[in-house]
Amino acid sequence: MHTIFPKPKRVLLKLSWEAMKWNYEYGFNGEFIHRLAQKVKNLAQQWIQIVIVVWGGNIYRWAQSTELGIARVEGDHIGMLATVMNGIALTNVLKQVGQPSVALTAVEMPRMLEFFSTHRANEALEDGKVVISVGGTGNPFFTTDTCAVQRALELHCDILVKGTQVDGIYNKDPKKHEDAFKFDQMTPEKALELGVRIMDQAAIALALDNDLPLFVCKIDDIDNICAETIVGTYVSKSAENVVHQPSSQ
């Protein structure tokens, strides 16, 4: 029995490049993507249906647009296409490790990928496939975080798991502040109040408005989310603000 939240039936995994920077620099890294695919397979084997919203930042982020002299909307288009590239790579590697999967795109490109629809995603999940949502929301001025919350709500995921560099949410950056402390649980209101950067504020607000629970853990632990020993931070309206006590690990 999991100590913080009940075992989910359907999970949305949000994997951000921020969490992967530790593993590799810009571009693709075959070793990392194979390790990630194995973890996704491990999680799927626990009878959990998985939707993944993939990252784009290893290739392009809108913030680069100003430096490059590219307008925001076109920059966002490039960013969304970056998620498509990552999604195609991850889908293929998942198949190689024996995990059926399908990438569904919010941006039509019928020669390469199927178009995302709620119906098609549900059908693939019921068939035992991992669904990789690519192309973000298909709209500029959004991020893969907002996309992740929106997809989790649309597909009735029990929880959104965000894999990050650190093992949960701290009151301040633990890499910069020795006295930073971690929460085992917290309310979304507390996350907004602290201005924590687990996801952008629009995404947290959307999750809060719709009672979507979040779990933040190390990206390396995403296949252990059902283990009693999992370390992370659970964010839910029903949670309390509980600071982690090292002895309770």
The residues of the shown chain that bind ligand UDP, judged by CB under 6 A, are 16-18, 55-57, 61-62, 75-76, 79-80, 82, 136-137, 139-140, 142-145, 147
When the beta carbons of 33 and 80 are compared against ligand UDP, the nearer one is 80
When the beta carbons of 8 and 87 are compared against ligand UDP, the nearer one is 87
CB of 33 to ligand UDP, least distance (A): 14
When the beta carbons of 72 and 156 are compared against ligand UDP, the nearer one is 72
Q: Mark residue 129 as left, alpha or beta (left: phi above 0; alpha: psi -120 to 50; beta: remaining).
A: beta
When the beta carbons of 75 and 87 are compared against ligand UDP, the nearer one is 75
When the beta carbons of 36 and 239 are compared against ligand UDP, the nearer one is 36
CB of 130 to ligand UDP, least distance (A): 17
When the beta carbons of 4 and 202 are compared against ligand UDP, the nearer one is 202
CB of 71 to ligand UDP, least distance (A): 12
CB of 192 to ligand UDP, least distance (A): 19
Cα distances from 163 to residues 5, 8, 9, 120, in angstroms, run: 17, 16, 18, 25
Element (H, E) at 232: strand 232-235
Cα separation, 225 vs 241, in Å, equals 20
SS3 for 168-181, per residue? CEECCCCCCCCCCC
Strand pairing category for 182-186 and 232-235: parallel
When the beta carbons of 57 and 232 are compared against ligand UDP, the nearer one is 57
Provide the 10 A C-beta neighbour count for residue 110: 8
CB of 124 to ligand UDP, least distance (A): 20
CB of 202 to ligand UDP, least distance (A): 11
**Amino acid at site 146:** T
Interhelix angle for 144-154 vs 201-209, to 10°? Answer: 20
CB of 148 to ligand UDP, least distance (A): 8
Q: Mark residue 136 as left, alpha or beta (left: phi above 0; alpha: psi -120 to 50; beta: remaining).
A: left
Spatial CB neighbours of 43, under 8 Å, sequence gap ≥ 6? 11, 13, 50, 222, 223, 225
